[in-house]
Amino acid sequence: MSALASVERDLRAAVAAEVIAPSAAYLTDQTEARGLGGRADAVALPHNTEEVAEVVSWCYAHGVPIVPRGGGTGYAGGAVPLDGGVVISLERLDRVRSFDPLLWRIEVDAGVRTAELRRVAREGGLLFPPDPGAAEQSQIGGNVATNAGGPHAFKYGVTGAWVTGLEVVVPPGEVVQLGGALRKDVAGYDLKHLLVGSEGTLGVITAAWLRLTPAPEAAWPVIGFFDGVRGGVGAIERVVGSGLTAAALEYIDSETMRYAGASFPGEVPGGAFAVLAEADGSTDEAARIRADLLDVFGEDALALYAPESPQEIAALWRWRDGLALVVDAQRGGKASEDIAVPLDRLGEAIEASLEVGRSFGIPACSWGHAGDGNLHTTFLLAGDDDRELELAPKLSEALFELALRLGGTISGEHGVGFVKRNWLAKQLGPRAFELHVAVKRAFDPQNLLNPGKKA
Amino acid sequence: MSALASVERDLRAAVAAEVIAPSAAYLTDQTEARGLGGRADAVALPHNTEEVAEVVSWCYAHGVPIVPRGGGTGYAGGAVPLDGGVVISLERLDRVRSFDPLLWRIEVDAGVRTAELRRVAREGGLLFPPDPGAAEQSQIGGNVATNAGGPHAFKYGVTGAWVTGLEVVVPPGEVVQLGGALRKDVAGYDLKHLLVGSEGTLGVITAAWLRLTPAPEAAWPVIGFFDGVRGGVGAIERVVGSGLTAAALEYIDSETMRYAGASFPGEVPGGAFAVLAEADGSTDEAARIRADLLDVFGEDALALYAPESPQEIAALWRWRDGLALVVDAQRGGKASEDIAVPLDRLGEAIEASLEVGRSFGIPACSWGHAGDGNLHTTFLLAGDDDRELELAPKLSEALFELALRLGGTISGEHGVGFVKRNWLAKQLGPRAFELHVAVKRAFDPQNLLNPGKKA
């Protein structure tokens, strides 16, 4: 650790970027709901890549930890500074550098918000498919750094599948370009994909070249309500087994529906487990897939809901995107994880994860990206009850253990951050974990980039 | 290097795998056409992962280089042993370990041939989209190790996009699992993608978990013939700019057509530049895209060819896949590279690459994966003329220089191998190249895995 008298004052004197005292907004992310908060010495607000490089360079020369920060919407504590150092917030790197709609590509600063990126693409007739929650707050740099997913990852893949190039500041403070406006590149190891999902522990992502795809003419969601986990997971397996290429394939368990049913923009049969699928493509194609989904769901659904108007469809997705907030509001606190399992273990994983809550006497509910085997099981904690908040790590660990037992992963899309760091070695095994650590050391020999995270 | 009296004899005594003396078939790949050949001390033919690990372990303990070998269809010399050591041929690891058609996934040994994998998937109603040339010889392990592409990478992405897990033997001889039957996983750095495209320099891939996708009902190719590079590239840009999601978008320049026109299964206007696009999807969807392609091509095409019968379509793709062989046969030798550039530089890249041939007085032709900006410019060398064969490196280097000048890459899909190794640092820049070398060292501290390749 640094022997500087004042990191904030010294950094301010040394670099062009604005440097401010750490305020609460820069010390937390979504893990605040489980009681996690951090401590930093200063916050740097660079305007461009050169200013980022200057801050990294100064920190590296002075042995000061560096915590890159995007929109702060993470669920793993990845943006929480654990024990001092400088938070580098990318929020002012917010330019679209270039947009070539006729070539299906865009280059953006890391601080461009995900929803803004999607809007710009859409105005050019194109789609940037990844749609993690909190798109109005989250930034593309953070999305890349966590390899964010979302409902449409089922058809379109996660964020990393759309990244063709990255600009990154790596220790001790140099700017490197990994890839670019290229759709194919096998020169050199795939360092770009190594940075994707690295959670700020290998470098600070300052810009990204992204692929885009023509926006589908139509996107129609269909919801089926089923009898319990078995019924719902059976429907999910039938969709996949029928070879239906749904754009999204989500589940919302009956407990989540109990909290969120009142705001659902349609009728909800009591106690039902919901499956949401989306049909997209040309109008004809989307109509065909929608009809097939209704057929497959119809075999044993308790009820169906298939909105057609843009307003109803938008309302349905707003409702889906708001699930986490509705659940948050129930008891004031929560612990939520994002384990993923092979699709054939999905039902077992949902049931066992709910059983974890029961065994601790904590209310639990579960929803997630069914087609990708990705669960968001959430434990509802009383926000003012320290005893319950202290259960958060134990509840999470029971989920991680479950994931590994079922051949899954401790993180499908949120990353490892601080919360899961002790579980990574268990998942990877000793030799792969050694290689993981060796890669970290190759990029960041002083362990100053987001220390205590990811490994 | 090893001080062993006989690597072949000592290895045979030490391991369970069959060990044979190196025969010519194990010392070359497609670079033989430019005069490249290697030398090895022994060839190991393991039957399973444990036998691979045992060979790697023995080699690592004795300081003996290890050259993993798939189907030997590479164009960069990646499988050519440069200066002794043990070739590990994966050909006997040829089992489909598990296939779950209803879950869209398959696990295969590294030595399963690409065409066989595609056949198995197809029998289950599914598609494994990557379709590099020489699919009957190439193996999935080699495809992963080079991140192979092919015509349909335009819509579906390269091999790495379909890999969800790898089993790899890493130094000093341990088996690691990276990922698995999981569609999403952000625990740990993306070591799996690091192995993809690593050309046997980080580990020996012994098995892969692959995603599959429902096979399209229909796939209809359309060929337009245009007036020169400008006309053809204009049509390519119109297809993309119209938001048409073609499954493949290929070009075949007029010089290539001059060699291959006689075997084309239709009429070819003299001197024309050909653009091949494919429409796929449900029957309706493919028909719609096909009609749109014919419209877009029709604006200024000299002629169109749009076969409808399965026999005609198969004949067209056989013709396309055979281009390299037809060109090879012209003068007995060749140097062929696979640079890729941003799509807006495609026309300039094709013209300048042909100009390289003219400036050396060597016949040149060019075809490739237009939509991905990926050129296969080929210089036709007299196979019995040493003076011409000696030009191969100079011709290739002129292409690499061109690629970098246009913001492109020295390799879109063949890899760096031996042929391009001196150009990698130029493309990556000094700091990214240092990181590249550091990653290699982290995996292979003794530099025994395919030494002299990739870096």
> Chain A residue closest to B339 (CA)?
A185
In angstroms, the CA B444 to CA B250 distance is 38
Q: Which residue of A has its CA nearest to B183?
A: A372
CA A256, CA A229: separation in Å to the nearest integer?
12
Q: Which residues of B touch A157 (CB under 8 A)?
A: 161
Q: Which residues of B touch A215 (CB under 8 A)?
A: 243
8 A C-beta contact, residue B213 and residue B280:
no
Cβ contact A416–B187 (<8 Å): yes
| Cβ <8 Å between B180 and A407 | yes
Q: How does pLDDT run along chain A (455 residues), one tens digit per residue?
A: 445 679 999 999 999 999 999 999 999 998 887 788 899 999 999 999 999 999 999 999 999 999 999 999 998 889 999 999 999 999 999 999 999 999 999 999 999 999 999 999 999 999 999 999 888 999 999 999 999 999 999 999 999 999 999 999 999 999 999 999 999 999 999 999 999 999 999 999 999 999 999 999 999 999 999 999 999 999 999 999 999 999 999 999 999 999 999 999 999 999 999 999 999 999 999 999 999 999 999 999 999 999 999 999 999 999 999 999 999 899 998 989 999 999 999 999 999 999 999 999 999 999 999 999 999 999 999 989 999 999 999 999 999 999 999 999 999 999 999 889 999 999 999 999 999 999 999 999 999 999 999 97
Host H or E run for residue A278: strand A273-281
Selected residue of B175, B183, B233, B375 to mutate for chain A interface (largest A Cβ count, 10 A): B183
Nearest-by-CA chain A residue for B454 = A188
CB contact under 8 A, A288 and B284: yes
Radius of gyration of chain A (CA): 22
What pLDDT sits at residue B1? Answer: 46
Q: What CA–CA distance (Å, rounded) separates A366 from A257?
A: 10
* Of the candidates B434, B443, B442, the residue with the CA atom closest to the CA atom of residue B202: B443
- B39-50 pLDDT tens trace: 999 999 999 999
- Condensed to tens digits (0 to 9), the pLDDT of residues B400-434 reads 999 999 999 999 999 999 889 999 999 999 999 99
d(CA B271, CA B252): 11
The three-point CA angle B118-B119-B123 to 5° equals 115
Nearest C-alpha in B relative to A196: B190
Q: Within 13 Å and on the Cβ side, how many CA atoms surround A8?
A: 11
Q: How far is CA B93 from CA B110, B118, B201, in A?
A: 6, 17, 19
- Cβ contacts of A129 on chain B, cutoff 8 Å: none
Nearest by CB to B158, which of A184, A237, A284? A184
Asked if residues A19 and A44 have their Cβ atoms less than 8 Å apart, the reply is yes
How far off is chain B from A282, nearest CA to CA, in Å? 8
Question: What pLDDT, on a 0 to 100 scale, did the predictor assign at position A97?
Answer: 98
Let me know: does A244 contact A293? Beta carbons within 8 Å: yes
Instruction: Name the minimum distance, in Å, from the CA of A262 to any CA of chain B.
Output: 31
- Contact criterion met (CB < 8 Å) for A427 and B187: yes
Structure-token match 């390289």, residue found: B356
Nearest to A176 among B197, B409, B432 (CB): B432
Q: Are the beta carbons of B214 and A245 separated by less than 8 Å? A: yes
Q: What is the dihedral of CA A144, A147, A149, A152, to 10 degrees?
A: 70
Identify the CA nearest to B152 among candidates B37, B65, B279, B38: B279
Task: Give the one of B185, B438, B443 whose C-beta lies nearest to A409's C-beta.
Answer: B185
Q: B108 by DSSP, 3-state: which?
A: strand
Residue B124, judged by CB atoms within 10 A of its CB (0-12, 13-18, 19+), counts as middle
Please choose, from the candidates B143, B163, B139, the residue with its C-alpha nearest in 3D space to the C-alpha of residue B211.
Answer: B163
Which residue, among B206, B161, B164, has the nearest Cα to B182 in the 3D structure? Answer: B164
Instruction: Decide if the complex's ipTM is over 0.90.
Output: yes
Nearest CA to CA, how far is A214 from chain B (Å)?
Answer: 5
Cβ distance of B240 and A428 shorter than 8 Å: no
* Residue A296 to chain B, least CA–CA distance (Å): 14
- Which of A146, A194, A371 faces B189 most closely, judged by CB atoms? A194
Closest-CA distance of chain A to residue B430, Å: 9
What six digits make up the tokens of A21? 């005292």
**What is the reported pLDDT for B135?**
87
Cβ–Cβ under 8 Å, residues A296 and A244: yes
The DSSP output letter for A409 is B
The pLDDT, as a whole number, for residue B3 is 58
Cα–Cα distance measured from residue A297 to residue A306, given in angstroms and rounded to the nearest whole number: 11
Residues of chain B with pLDDT below 50 are: 1-2
Q: Cβ distance A250 to A151 under 8 Å?
A: yes
pLDDT of residue A3: 58
Q: Of the candidates A412, A423, A443, which has its C-beta nearest B184's C-beta?
A: A412
Residues B432, A178: C-beta atoms closer than 8 Å: yes
Q: Which two tokens stand for residue A242?
A: 């029928």
Q: Hey, what are B48's tokens?
A: 């399973």
d(CA B162, CA B181): 11
Instruction: Collect all residues of chain B within an 8 Å Cβ-Cβ radius of residue A146.
Output: 186
Minimal Cβ distance to A284: which of B157, B182, B284: B284
Buried b (16+ CB within 10 A) or exposed e, A128-155: bbbbbbbbeebbbbbbbbbbbbbbbbbb
Radius of gyration of chain B (CA): 22
**Burial group, residue B359, by CB count within 10 angstroms (0-12, 13-18, 19+):** exposed
In sequence order, the β-bridge partners of residue A87 are A43, A67
Count the residues in chain B: 455
8 Å CB contact of B432 and A241? no
Please give the pLDDT value at position A1. 46
Name the residue facing A285 among B214, B282, B344 (closest C-beta). Answer: B282
